[in-house]
Amino acid sequence: MAKEMHPTPMLDQLESGPWPSFVTGLKRLAKDKDYVVDLMGQLEHSYKTRKGYWKGGTVGVFGYGGGVIPRFTEAKDANNKPMFPDAAEFHTLRVMPPAGMHYNTDVLRKMADIWERHGSGLIAFHGQSGDIMFQGVTSENVQPAFDAINELGFDLGGAGPAVRTSMSCVGAARCEQSCYDEATAHRTVINSFLDDIHRPSLPYKFKFKFSGCPNDCMNSIQRADMAVIGTWRDNIRTDEELARKWFAKHGMNELVNDVVARCPTKAIQLKEVKHLKAVPTVSTVAVSDTHGLEIDNRDCVRCMHCINVMTGALAPGKDKGATVLVGGKRTLKIGDLMGTVVVPFMKLETDKDREKLVELGQKVIDFFAENALEHERTGEMIERIGIVNFLEALEIPIDANMVSAPRTNPYVRMDGWDEEVAKIKAAKMVA
């Protein structure tokens, strides 16, 4: 039995209503832990005063420079004594999840046991960076808690100016849209940068994220310094049986309004079956005895919309791989940036392919470490120096897929034009 609860009239109001309540969970923990009694006291104090009361500090585990988020209370009384002394230290361990966030109950129960013994008993699945967040542990218990988690086969993630924990989608494990082995790519890449995760020494954070198709379920384009998004180069695959089944259920209005009309590049046409083209770059499929779809794959931008609507009837092609984009981030400091294309397509089938992805990551991180200003993300660095300088330093050939449009102003010095043209011509001759 723990000590008596602080009154929590505001938090109590978050126990009603149908959605699962974290307050009810905290109260369960507070029955046995003074630690959580005081945590709730401080949280109620925040609700009352509308202010936060945690400050950072330096807490870590032996051998690592990051992965623990230190929190010390700033809720102090007139004598500068903590108002909620049992929760004066409430650190978090960031722990890297398996790719696709798959678990069995055995490992989840073991995590719960470890955290009940060493920590508050509160675990978040998962934080916004993808970490399993073991929330609430005293400075003294950080090391034994980590040791137990580490023995279980898990490792700390990134914090501070470091390569960060990564995420990948459910992917090939359970999704028909998967365009590469996300889990293997995720694990191969991240486990190649463990030193940069555990010992923060970059200008700022660096995030990789892995999505298996352009639906980008991992939100990688806006959250990752390096986003690896699955795509394909050949034709959309079709399955007439499933296409007919879809059409029988949904009808012509939905086919026209929801599929054909919503194609962003008008690559899809509705045609009579007898007029469907038999051309190598065109995908066709009958949806009934009279009508069918004709998709010009050279105009298709692989947006996924038609495949999402008619899943199975339409599917990504077989020549699969990924597009790599660099520079995504949110607001601070210059405003939001989406990642932009750096490699339009790379295969990711073999260990050798994945080795190339690791090499690319290494080159980007090395350049970032050398050239970014303190607290500058890759996107901001590229914005400051210009993407051509970035690409030339990395020896990545430029490609028209990297832009939405060529420049709209003449403000550039161009006396190297003839040499560039000659280089491109020479490269074409070789190829």
Partner 1 sequence: MAQPQMRRATESGVPDNRQFLHPLLKKNYGNWKYHDRPRPGVLHHVSHSGDEVWSVRAGTQRQMDVSTIRKLCDIADQYAEGHVRFTIRSNIEFMVSSAAKVAPLIAELEKSGFPVGGTGNSVSMIAHTQGWLHCDIPGTDASGVVKALMDELYDEFRREDMPNRVHLSTSCCEINCGGQADIAIIVQHTKPPKINHDLVANVCERPAVVARCPVAAIRPALVNGKPSLEVDEKKCICCGACYPPCPPMQINDPEHSKLAIWVGGKNSNARAKPTFMKMVAAGLPNNPPRWPEVSEAVKGILYAYKADARPWERLSDWIDRIGWPRFFERTELPFTKYLIDDWRGARANLNASTHIRF
- Which residues ranging from 194 to 213 are in contact with partner 1 (CB under 8 A)? 194, 197-198
Distance in angstroms (rounded) separating the CA atoms of residues 268 and 253: 15
Residues 6+ apart with CB under 8 A from 412: none
> Smallest distance from the beta carbon of 240 to partner 1, in angstroms?
13
Is 281 one of the binding residues for partner 1 (CB under 8 A)? no
Gap between the terminal Cα atoms of the chain:
75
Helix (H, G, I), strand (E, B) or coil at 182: helix
Q: Which of 248, 256, 279, 332 binds partner 1 (CB under 8 A)?
A: 332
Is 408 one of the binding residues for partner 1 (CB under 8 A)? no
For the stretch 143-168, what's the b/e string if a residue is b when 16 or more beta carbons lie within 10 angstroms of its beta carbon?
bebbebbeeeebbbbbbbbbbbbbbb
CB 197 within 8 A of CB 212: no
Q: Which of 89, 162, 178, 202 binds partner 1 (CB under 8 A)?
A: 178
Output the DSSP codes for 373-389: PTT--HHHHHHHH-HHH
- Which residues ranging from 244 to 263 are in contact with partner 1 (CB under 8 A)? 254, 257-258, 262
Q: Which of 81, 274, 333, 413 binds partner 1 (CB under 8 A)?
A: 333
CB 270 within 8 A of CB 247: no
Run of H or E including 397? none
> Smallest distance from the beta carbon of 333 to partner 1, in angstroms?
5
Is 49 one of the binding residues for partner 1 (CB under 8 A)? yes
> Smallest distance from the beta carbon of 417 to partner 1, in angstroms?
28
Quick one: 21 or 362, whose CB is closer to partner 1? 21
Q: Which of 38, 89, 131, 181 binds partner 1 (CB under 8 A)?
A: 181
Is 135 one of the binding residues for partner 1 (CB under 8 A)? yes
- Which residues ranging from 366 to 395 are in contact with partner 1 (CB under 8 A)? 373-375
Is 358 one of the binding residues for partner 1 (CB under 8 A)? no
| From 292-300, 335-343, 351-359, 385-393, span contacting partner 1 (CB under 8 A) | 335-343
- Which residues ranging from 215 to 244 are in contact with partner 1 (CB under 8 A)? 215-223, 229, 239, 242
Q: How many residues does the chain have?
A: 431
Nearest to 325 by CA among 374, 371, 378: 378
